[in-house]
Structure 1
Amino acid sequence: MTNPMNSRSRAARWAGLAGAGAALVAVCATTAPAFAATTGTRPSPVGSALHGPAPVDRQALARLMAPDDVANGTMVRITGPGVHLTETTGQLSRDPAAYFRIGSITKLFTSTVVLQLVGEGRFAMDTPVQEILPGTLPAGWAPITVRRLLSHTSGLGMPCVAPENPGSPTPAAVVAALTDPKCPAPQSPVTVQQYNGMNYFLLGLVVEKTTGHPYADEVQRRVARPLGLRHTYLPRPGDTSIPAPSLAAPVPDDPWAWAEGGMISNAPDLDRFLRALLGGRLLAPAQQAELFRMPALSATAKVPFSMGGLVRGELDDGTPVWGKTGSKAGGVNGLFGTQDGKRVLVYSYTAVGDDADRQRRRAEDFIEAAF
Structure 2
Amino acid sequence: MSQPEEAEPVIPDGATAAYALAEDDGTTVAGPTSPTQAAAPPTRSPGIPRYLQIAGGIVLSLGALLLLKEFGSTFAPMFLALNLMVTAYPLHTWLVRKGCPSPLSAVTTALVVFVVLLAMVAGLVWSVNETVTLLPQYADEFTGLFNWFIDRAAQLGFDQASLMQAFKSIDPNSIFSAASSVLNGASGFVAMLAILVTTLVFMAMDTSGFAARIRIAGATHSRMVTGLVSFSRGIRRYWVVTSVFGLIVAVLDVIAVAIIGVPLPIVWGLLSFLTNYIPNIGFVVGLIPPALVALVALGWKQALVVVVLYCVLNFVVQSIIQPRFTGESVGVTPTISFISLLVWGLVLGGLGTLLALPMTLLVKALIIDTDPRARWVNAFIASNPGDAQGAAQQAEL
Indicate whether the TM-score tops 0.5: no
TM-score, with structure 2 as normaliser: 0.26
**Larger strand percent:** 1
Greater relative contact order structure (CA < 8 Å, 6+ sep): 1
**Larger helix percent:** 2
Bigger radius of gyration among the two: 2
